[in-house]
Amino acid sequence: MSVIAERKKKARLHVIAQVILSIWCVFVINAWIFHTSIRSDWTEDGVLTITESDRQLVEGLPGKIEVVLPLNMSPGIENQLKTRILVKAARWLEELSHVDPNKLSRPVMIEVNRDGEKWERERIRRVPVLEESDVDKIHFFFDDRRISVAPEELASFRFPTVLEPEGNAEILLDKSREGIEAALRRLVTEDWSKIYISQGSGEPLLEENRQSSMAALRDDLEARGAIVEPLRLAQTDVIPEDADLLLIVAGGVGGFEPLGAAVVRSIDRYLESGGGVAILLPATGISGLEDLMARAGISVSPGLIAEEIPLEQGFVRPAFVAVGRDVNPDHPATASFGLQIMDARFSPARALQVSGDAEALLYTGPGAWIERDGQMARRDPAESPGPRIVAAASDVGSGRLVVAASWTPVLTEFWRGDSRRFLLSCFGWAAGDSLPLGAGREPVSRKVELSPQFRNSFFWTAIFVLPSCAFIGGLLVAAVRRRKA
């Protein structure tokens, strides 16, 4: 009997030791993994993937940047959409902070309506102090400096208007990732680049806020910390000395007046002295810069690029569109895109050819051809399909030249998608930015059209069909069970 009691006593002690040991093991495993994070992004468009340029950006920050996001959470569809985009941006900031928490702190989110005390504390603690009007913005603090980013800088919205009261409120373009990147650069960079955009020769207007203007382009460049100024090349042949980039949009709704010889000479001198020039070509006619481009190794073929564009239900339609698919992964302007397959649309687009030191930046897919008559996009047997160059770059002296095959992507109406990202990256390179912007992927919108028909069918599937199937399954099992019994 005493032997059994002794064994029981030993067993109890063993169990206690085992329990303590197992808890200790679990703690040690978790303590180890706590410091060893292995994360993977399973989203199809890699929207939360930290790229090498993101990593460089965070690691290159000169000190700790703190982020505060006070949210008002007011009702109404406009506020809801803005809140959604701010929260999305905060989510991306949180992901970025994983790179180096000592350089970029995780964002402090405060719901002002629910947690007034916290907001008051945070408001006073910050230098410069946050005001009551600073809610619904992301604030970045660094060395007594502050940059605030409003939702409008992180996305393009469409809201119902007086003319369209029944229109849907929606996020047209989500650029939260780039907006954050640009804000971080603006905060730590003292030297803002200056970009001049050609005006007065038929180009779309820079100031006017219309679909056919370049207002969206201007806003994007300014959000990236650039000072954007118009430059009337027809009236002056002097390129300002402080220009980091001269953007020549050689197109317009009413046609483009080719640049004169004096202007071309000053652009040439500007390039030789280390300036950056980006030329967006006209669909027809000339820009006046063809000789300059040819000397840099970039020439323009006659005709327009055409491709067969897929439509719904498997149909295709030939059109004067060049869809840029493959970027040059070795060029600094496009290296950050890596081997991504792009969908950068240029319409109508000229075909470029490169020679000498010039390099192609963007190619179409193998199905593109050059339509020489320019009247109708229909491929003749003589017009062989193949990849066409839609953008090219070259170093001229100590300057940088970028040529894109079409001017239309800079119109506010078309300023989106991969063509926008691609052009921003090219402009950044030409302006001499060490890390071109615009490489971040725009999230692909995955939305269901909430038509009455869809609502109805989804309602019945969710509430009735599935539970009924389970109910019938249960009845069948019960019947089988009864029969067996």
Contacts with other proteins, residue ranges (CB under 8 A): 7-8, 11-12, 15, 18-19, 22-23, 26, 29-30, 33-34, 36-44, 47-48, 84, 91, 94-95, 97, 101, 105-108, 170, 443-450, 454-455, 457-459, 461-463, 466-467, 470-471, 473-474, 477-478, 481
CB of 50 or CB of 294, closer to other proteins = 50
Least Å from the CB of residue 124 to other proteins: 15
User: Environment class of residue 122 by beta-carbon count within 10 Å: exposed (0-12), middle (13-18) or buried (19+)?
Assistant: middle
CB of 373 vs other proteins, minimal distance in Å: 38
Nearer to other proteins, 19 or 341 (CB): 19
Distance of closest approach, residue 152 Cβ to other proteins, in angstroms: 19
Q: Which is nearer to other proteins, 227 or 469 (CB)?
A: 469
CB of 451 to other proteins, least distance (A): 9
Task: Report residue 350 CA to chain centroid gap.
Answer: 25
Quick one: 58 or 411, whose CB is closer to other proteins? 58
Are 270 and 239 a contacting pair, CB within 8 Å? yes
Cβ-contact 441, 343 below 8 angstroms:
no
CB-count exposure of residue 399 (10 Å: 0-12, 13-18, 19+) = buried
391, 426 in Cβ contact below 8 A? yes
Are the CB atoms for 337 and 327 separated by under 8 Å? yes
Residue 170: what residue type? Answer: E
Q: Nearest approach, Cβ of 1 to other proteins (angstroms)?
A: 14
Q: Give whichever of 32 and 315 is closer to other proteins, judged by the CB atom.
A: 32
Host H or E run for residue 174: strand 170-174
Q: Where are the alpha helices (DSSP H) in 170-305?
A: 176-188, 215-223, 261-272, 290-295
Phi and psi at residue 288, to the nearest 5°: 95, -10
Residue 157 Cβ, how far from other proteins at the closest point, in Å? 13
**With respect to other proteins, which residue has the nearer C-beta, 47 or 360?**
47
